[in-house]
Structure 1
């Protein structure tokens, strides 16, 4: 009789038990084509954590309009940032995994299994978890690479992990890290990257900390993301010693006609030159790795808006990516959970 729950043969009981560390990120299409974007967007925009419109209505909009129009436009944008190695998000995430694994395995030797997975697209979370089960993982640490907790990102990753584990016969102990927006080492890495940029390019009239947006309805319904973003800004700017008139928190990447978190990045940049702000530097602390929303939207689209409005100098401060201080911070966050696992 076929079991409804996934198990392994008896040999699994003779395996050395291991701790699994799963890093997750949002995801990326397999290639910058309309077909690949249609597949990716179908999965992404079908997630009820991402879009909370009543399902029947949203499915009509998604399949009747969005998936007929948006894939071709998005494919051109992805093509503009694609590299010889593939999607920047994927390449950077893999480099981060390798650095973190190197640091953690230096002390843990062969007791750890470390992998990266994407919430949407490949490598998929269920496949990564199944590989871990095959290697004898009975304690699992999951770190979504979103510093500021949000329902559409962090909670969606939790949903996918637990949906898969619900199919298993032997469920591992689960340590889910739901954010690190105020972790001292993450804040220090951000401050370091900003300070280095200022030293290389000069201090701007204003530093813009642009976070990914979300519908205001999410905030009104209790999502803490907005507050966590502002706390990150406060801690970083205090670390840098910036006066309040030298920085701003804004929100980018709106979609649809609903009101989103404000102030909007594009509208802010359009209005700043008229206020005498002609030189800005922009960073997006919500992104652990550079992707379409940074490399296209911030590097090009928003720069054009600012310059056309009368701005004179615009520079983008890259995401933390695989910087040593960033990977050290993530490794430290994970190491604390490894110690907790060992106490069980």
Structure 2
């Protein structure tokens, strides 16, 4: 990677540079819709390794080399990485928004916040083993997807991983893509629902790089297409519903009886806990809330209904800062459910397709303790989709369809999802912080304080009822 302002990242020691961004989305690679046709046959021998030749483009005798770029948040792999990761996170204007007059101070603000938050965040990562597993899961998903693409569709492709805030960065993935001679690229954000602060931020990086280097990434050198969101894909919806059914079926007759009362006739409850964003993002046109609600309704349709003893709820987690976020908040809903007599609860991390700090620490430790404290005695949590076979096949199917359907450029995807609304104007006169997938950084300070107090108390009182089965040692910091 070079040292230009738009590509500078903090790695070790703090040097910071103002990141220069285009003032609008009027530049890029927008073009008329075309098809990226892929087939399992090629002139001459077919290279069966990822990245091998799979087809002959209609306009050229050169073989097509297919690449799939998986975009994700990234995370620190060790405690030493935490501060640098936080700096990169808060240096992103899509994550922390300053009033226009203060925007030149973005890097300085990021430096101060990352230094202040690093010790607390490092403790959170220590509680799940010292680092984030998100890269490991993304690599496994990429490898399995490539195999599924070849087995199910006869498409030989190479997968690349572009993380937004830690290694391997998106720019590094682009360097690999260029070196490998990829000329048909599918861009797949690993966020089912589109948000300006997640998929939008990752796509901005690509848009900037493509705009700066049209000689390398222009349509005459490389066709590309984006899958901006996929929350409504039937295969994805079924995969999540199947995981929920497994947890619902795990409640014993005794637990069902415990969870049934005159005040609470529904014995089993499902809480979809989605990552939150500032409410002003939604006001500015972010489609995230609508997509989350639509997604939950689609999954709900595949689950037992209230007449079968299952009730569904939706909440939003990980808020931070003084501004209004999407409601209801998960840490408000859990005590409310306890007051309603709910005993049996399945929590679903609906925004996430791989385990990371916000599932393993925020949900499994912070929210679980709050639920038990609130009287919800029988806690379940569906795993993230991770390497679920049906999910892997679904993303392979998505890629295959994207290769054979009308393409959507990065700029077109940004415009269609209102990303430019936040690029062109400040949505608030206050600084807004979106933790965008970073539990242990973005979770509510008051909730974290209560959880720490509970863990210290239990260190002296012994484990809570039901803790012995989950491997959590609440008294060990």
In the aligned structure 2, how far is the partner of 1:80 from the partner of 1:270?
Answer: 24
Separation in 2 of the partners of 1:97 and 1:25?
12
The answer to whether the 8 Å contact 2:90/2:114 transfers is: no
Among candidates 232, 238, 248, match of residue 198 of structure 1: 248
Equivalent of 1:131 in 164, 176, 180: 176
Tell me, in whole angstroms, the C-alpha distance in 2 between the residues paired with 1:114 and 1:303: 36
For 1:225, which of 281, 288, 298 is the aligned residue? 288
Q: Please tell me whether the aligned partners of residues 23 and 142 of structure 1 are also in contact (alpha carbons under 8 angstroms).
A: yes
Which of 138, 159, 165 in structure 2 is aligned with 1:114?
A: 159
1:290 — aligned with what? 355
Q: Does 1:301 align with 2:366?
A: yes
Provide the aligned length of Structure 1 versus Structure 2: 326
Distance verdict in 2 for CA 1:106–1:285, change over 3 Å: same
State which of 174, 197, 214 in structure 1 corresponds to 2:224. Answer: 174
Contact 1:82 1:88 in 2 (8 A): no
SS in 1 for 2:384: coil
* TM-score where L is the length of structure 2: 0.64
Number of the residue aligned with 1:141: 186
Q: Separation in 1 of the partners of 2:302 and 2:285?
A: 29
Give the one of 90, 97, 118 matched to 1:71.
118
User: Residue 251 of structure 1 corresponds to which residue in structure 2?
Assistant: 316
Counterpart CA distance in 1 for 2:126 and 2:63 is 44
Aligned 8 A contact 2:149 2:156 in 1: no
Consecutive unaligned residues of structure 1, counting only runs of 5 or more, are 5-12
| Cα distance, 1:108 vs structure 2 | 6.4
Gaps (5+ residues) in structure 2? 5-59, 257-266, 408-477
Q: 1:235 aligns with which of 298, 316, 327?
A: 298
Judged with a 3 Å threshold, the aligned counterparts in structure 2 of structure 1 residues 130 and 253 are, in CA distance, closer, same or farther, namely same
Which portions of structure 1, spanning 4 or more consecutive aligned residues, are displaced by more than 4 angstroms? Answer: 107-111
CA contact 2:149–2:155 (8 Å) conserved in 1: no
Deviation of the 1:109 alpha carbon: 6.2
Residues 80-125 of structure 1 show CA distances to partners (whole Å, capped at 9, x for unaligned) of 2137xx6311111111111101111336668422122211111111
**CA contact under 8 A between 2:71 and 2:189: conserved in structure 1?**
yes
CA–CA distance in structure 2, aligned partners of residues 174 and 294 of structure 1: 32
The 5 Å alignment of 1:1-344 reads: 16-33=63-80, 36-54=81-99, 56=102, 59=106, 61-64=109-112, 66-82=113-129, 87-106=132-151, 111-168=156-213, 169-171=215-217, 172-201=222-251, 205-243=268-306, 246-340=311-405
1:10 is matched with which residue? none
C-alpha change, 1:201 and 1:328, in structure 2 (3 Å) is farther
Per the TM alignment, residue 17 of structure 1 is displaced from its structure 2 partner at its CA by 3.4
Higher helix fraction (1 or 2)? 1
Q: Contact (CA 8 Å) 1:185, 1:329: kept in 2 or not?
A: yes
How far the C-alpha of 1:293 sits from its partner, in A, is 0.5
Structure with the larger strand share? 1
3-state DSSP of counterpart to 1:114: strand
Higher mean alpha-carbon deviation, 182-191 vs 202-211, is at 202-211
**Contact 2:74/2:167 (<8 A) preserved:** yes
The structure whose Rg is larger is 2
Partner Cα separation in structure 1 for residue 132 and residue 325 of structure 2: 28
- Alpha-carbon deviation of 1:316? 1.1
Q: Say if 1:23 and 1:97, in contact at 8 Å, map to a contact too.
A: yes
Shift of 1:270: 1.7
